[in-house]
Amino acid sequence: MWVSIRMLVILALADFCRAMPESYDTIVVGLGSAGVTAATILAKAGKRVLGLEAMDRIGGRVKTVPFGDGFIEEGAEWIHGTENSRVYQMAIDNNIPTLDQELEFEVYRSDGTLGNNSLISELVAFCHDQAFTATDKPLSLGEFITGKFMEHIKIKYPELQSNQTFIKEFLNFMNLIVNNYEGSNDWTDVSAKSAFKELGGHQHMSWHRYGYKTFFELLLNTYNNGPGWPNLDIKLNSPVSKIIWPRDSTGNVIVQCEGGQTYTARHVIVTVSLGVLKERHEKMFEPALPIEKTTAIDKMSIGVMDKVILKFEKPWWDRKLLFFSFLWRLEDIANVSKEDYWITRILGASNPMGSDNTLTLWTSGDVGKMVETLPDEIVIRKTMELLRKFMGKKYSNIPEPTGMLRSKWYSNPYTRGSYTYDNLDTPNYPHAREALGAPLLDSSGTPRVLFAGEATNPIHFSTVAGASDTGYREAMRLLPSSKM
């Protein structure tokens, strides 16, 4: 009798323990660059950490995929800057060679002829430099660059001032370049007054055959079959539906997942994209986020940068050239049907360094969003028509592709965009990124819900290194040795 009662008590206690939410020191929501950086720093410091990732993989807006005869990147392609870069330093410290992929390009016109490569390259380089010139004027980046461009040709190429056709065609081309950097729909949507700063050094360092996934393997200690971190638990396919945080200093933060699982922790670091916060913050946080944070979420912008990646049996293009730019003639654009307009918003094709027999075509903004919805057969057929239109005179008999991959960062419910940029409202909310990154404190002043991700980086947003820096920032906020 006593044995039976004892067994019943043991079983009841076991059921009770199973029903209790599992508790951690810190829960990290989202396992992109910021989340994995934060989680691994805390785990290495001895904290018990849970990483919750909505998707079925680690990496966030970094996505390395085996394709062609190697790897391609559906998301982030390069390490932007080598000086004071957490990402680049990680590669160097682990003897991982990276390659400088200088984006020297060859210009093709829409009638199949080659453009004036030296002239256009010089003008693009000049305009690119202007994009990082500080200004206090309330101008769009398009207005600012156009003004500087007109001043430049007046001094250096006075004969071009009367060539309105060339000026319009070049500015259309430059607009696409800016949109591909910013993820914007049009360069008139981007503020010329921005705090963004490039890291020093080479801006297009490629992981080539290693793939950007290597950065995450190094962080997680799984590179070359490493053992990982024993006190870091990772749960994939675990989208978070609710974060309930205490205003007093006694309770834990409760994190509820869509599948019904519940976890608790003293601290939670939220690293989801601005696009996800825009869509879900009202339902995700209890109590609701403060007005400073919701204003930042509302006023900031996240853009779309998408890729269409075509695989061929073998490369038919000159592998020594890394970028093939498409410059439309005004008369040819006028003859494109409304339903095919999107092909005029593809900047060109690049040669990924991780795969010899693939080409990446780039598009952005609203056109990128629309292309995500098109059937595969239409995207393949139209992009091949585009390649043959621009490159067919130089490369005859361009073959059909043997496969296609494409990114869908906007339609992905767990990203809702690629990365943030400074819109025309930015000068009116100069501290929005700091407000977005500010932690939620309990009554004792302890940070209970913390925020990281590229959108919260005031000067290095839109980059993997910038995102990683914010993960480091928030992890150090929670460690006793932190100097912050």
What is the pLDDT at residue 5?
A: 53
Going by their DSSP bridges, the two strands 358-364 and 348-350 should be labelled as antiparallel
| Domain final position from 365, 381, 406 | 406
d(CA 97, CA 414): 31
What is the pLDDT at residue 355?
A: 96
**Domain that residue 392 falls in:** 103-201+305-406
Q: Is residue 348 part of a domain?
A: yes
- The mean per-residue pLDDT over the stretch 256-266 comes to 97
Ramachandran area for residue 24 (φ above 0: left; ψ -120 to 50: alpha; else beta): beta
Position 335 pLDDT exceeds 70: yes
Position 13 pLDDT exceeds 70: no
Asked whether the beta carbons of 160 and 167 are under 8 A apart, the reply is: yes
155-176 pLDDT, tens digit each: 999 999 999 999 999 999 999 9
Two structure tokens written together for 172? 């259309």
Q: Are residues 138 and 107 in the same domain?
A: yes
Q: Is residue 6 part of a domain?
A: no
| % of the chain surpassing 70 pLDDT | 95
- The mean per-residue pLDDT over the stretch 22-37 comes to 96
| Domain final position from 365, 383, 406 | 406
Which residue type is seen at 77? Answer: E
Taking residue 137's Cβ as centre, other Cβ atoms within 10 Å add up to 10
- At residue 103 the predicted structure's pLDDT band, cuts being 50, 70 and 90, is low
Residue with the bigger pLDDT between 10 and 427: it is: 427
Q: Is residue 483 part of a domain?
A: no
Among the residue ranges 90-104, 185-199, 224-238, 263-277, the one predicted with the least confidence is: 90-104
Residues in Cβ contact with 340 at an 8 Å cutoff, skipping those fewer than 6 apart: 382
Two structure tokens written together for 157? 């190429």
Q: Mapped to the 3 state alphabet, what secondary structure does 325-364 carry?
A: EEECCHHHHHCCCHHHHHHHHCCEEECCCCCCCEEEEEEE
Residues in Cβ contact with 302 at an 8 Å cutoff, skipping those fewer than 6 apart: 183, 273, 274, 275, 278, 416, 417, 418, 419, 420, 421, 455
Q: Are residues 181 and 310 in the same domain?
A: yes
- The mean per-residue pLDDT over the stretch 350-379 comes to 96
Q: Indicate which CATH number applies to the domain containing 153.
A: 3.90.660.10
Q: Are residues 311 and 389 in the same domain?
A: yes
Asked whether the beta carbons of 484 and 473 are under 8 A apart, the reply is: yes
Helix (H) or strand (E) holding 434: helix 432-437
113-148 pLDDT, tens digit each: 999 999 999 999 999 999 888 788 889 999 999 999
Domain count along the chain:
2
Cα torsion through 161, 164, 168, 173, rounded to 10: -60
For every residue of 86-102, DSSP letters joined together read HHHHHHHHTT---EE--
Which residue type is seen at 375? Answer: P
Q: Is residue 320 part of a domain?
A: yes
| % of the chain surpassing 90 pLDDT | 89
Q: Reduced to 3 states, what is the DSSP secondary structure of residue 41?
A: helix
- The mean per-residue pLDDT over the stretch 244-259 comes to 95
Position 178 pLDDT exceeds 50: yes
- The mean per-residue pLDDT over the stretch 279-295 comes to 98
Position 11 pLDDT exceeds 60: no
- The mean per-residue pLDDT over the stretch 286-308 comes to 98
Helix (H) or strand (E) holding 36: helix 33-44
- The mean per-residue pLDDT over the stretch 12-20 comes to 45
d(CA 89, CA 104): 25
Q: Are residues 438 and 359 in the same domain?
A: no
Q: Is residue 297 part of a domain?
A: yes
Two structure tokens written together for 253? 């933060």
Q: Is residue 1 part of a domain?
A: no
Asked whether the beta carbons of 23 and 460 are under 8 A apart, the reply is: no
Q: Please choose, from the candidates 204, 183, 219, 208, the residue with its C-alpha nearest in 3D space to the C-alpha of residue 58.
A: 219
What is the pLDDT at residue 19?
A: 47
Asked whether the beta carbons of 110 and 332 are under 8 A apart, the reply is: yes
Q: Are residues 135 and 273 in the same domain?
A: no
425-452 pLDDT, tens digit each: 999 999 999 999 999 999 999 999 999 9
Position 474 pLDDT exceeds 70: yes
Q: 133: which DSSP letter?
A: S
* Predicted TM-score (pTM) of this structure: 0.93
- The mean per-residue pLDDT over the stretch 272-301 comes to 98
What is the pLDDT at residue 20?
A: 56
Q: Are residues 310 and 379 in the same domain?
A: yes
| Domain final position from 406, 437, 470 | 406
Two structure tokens written together for 363? 């598009």
Q: Are residues 194 and 246 in the same domain?
A: no
Q: Is residue 14 part of a domain?
A: no
Position 483 pLDDT exceeds 50: no
d(CA 123, CA 341): 26
Q: Are residues 164 and 183 in the same domain?
A: yes
End-to-end CA distance of the chain: 60
Position 15 pLDDT exceeds 90: no
Q: Are residues 280 and 372 in the same domain?
A: no
d(CA 419, CA 412): 13
Q: Are residues 189 and 248 in the same domain?
A: no
Position 53 pLDDT exceeds 60: yes
Position 190 pLDDT exceeds 60: yes
- The mean per-residue pLDDT over the stretch 220-229 comes to 96
Average pLDDT over the chain, rounded to whole? 93
Q: Are residues 263 and 330 in the same domain?
A: no
Q: Are residues 314 and 450 in the same domain?
A: no
Position 14 pLDDT exceeds 50: no
Q: Indicate which CATH number applies to the domain containing 73.
A: 3.50.50.60
Report the alpha-carbon angle 81-86-91, nearest 5. Answer: 85
Asked whether the beta carbons of 362 and 348 are under 8 A apart, the reply is: yes
Position 16 pLDDT exceeds 70: no
- At residue 40 the predicted structure's pLDDT band, cuts being 50, 70 and 90, is very high
d(CA 302, CA 410): 10
Two structure tokens written together for 398? 């361009």
What is the pLDDT at residue 319?
A: 83
Q: Is residue 352 part of a domain?
A: yes
Supply φ then ψ for residue 243, to 5 degrees: -125, 115
